[in-house]
Amino acid sequence: MTIELQHVKKNVRAGSVRVTYEDLNIRLSEGADVAFLAHSEAGIESVLSLLCAADAPDRGRIIRDHSISWSIPSTQYIQRHVSLAANARFLARLYEVDEKDYLARVSESGLAPFMDTRVDKVSSEIKTVFAFVTGVLLPFDRYIVTKAAVGKKAFPDLAGRLLDDLRARAGLLLVTAQAKTAAQYCDQAYVFDQGTATFYDDMEAATEHFNSIQSKDKDREAGGDDEEEDDDSDLQNMMALDF
């Protein structure tokens, strides 16, 4: 089973992002752990929308014969004025999984003390952890993960443990601007730059290519205000996908 983009053209016009993919070819094979290495100007959210059938290409063909998640840990679907448990029950019914078992597994992740609390009464960290856990515990053939390090303060080992479990039963698509994180979880990568996506089955080569892109970007920004980036915050800001 695969998800493929074949000779796809897509004009991306989102805020300040202006990029055109003229001949985009991507293949996500069953069970493969693949990284999308992309900076914030790559228009990667539009590529994810194509993969998830949330958008259509301007030209080209998309083959999709296995299930794929939304962008995890997106919180777009979470209702603020009901409890975490009520949100989890909604997902269980929507995806037709056993409600009691699903709620138990979400609670056992460490969220049990918060399950009966309204979403607008918990911290942003707990909300993000909840979005991550509820997403990865649903049954998909492939999971899109845009933030691999969640809950580092409250649950330092949780994300890594759940990602390892996920990779044992399904395929991972990790979207990140952190090559080191990509190399930890993936053995294939697409590097996005200026409307192209270059495939690598060698993570060291992918890292070298992506780092060279980032170096060029920093050179162009030389002379401006220095900004320290140690996570995927810019990528996360543009990743508010609502599937």
In a domain, 242, yes or no: no
Output the six-digit token pair for 137. 């515990």
87-130 pLDDT per residue, tens: 999 999 999 999 999 999 999 999 999 999 999 999 999 999 99
What pTM was estimated for this model as a whole? 0.86
In a domain, 39, yes or no: yes
Q: Indicate whether 225 pLDDT > 60.
A: no
129 found inside a domain: yes
- Supply the CATH number for residue 211's domain: 3.40.50.300
Domain boundaries, position 219 = 2-237
Q: Measured between alpha carbons, how far is residue 156 from residues 160, 162, 210 in Å?
A: 8, 12, 28
pLDDT 10s digits, 189-210 = 999 998 999 999 999 999 999 9
> What's the domain count of the chain?
1
- What is the per-residue pLDDT across 137-148, written as a single tens digit (0 to 9) for each? 999 999 999 998
pLDDT of residue 220: 59
Band the pLDDT of 240: cuts 50, 70, 90.
very low
Tell me if 243 is assigned to some domain.
no
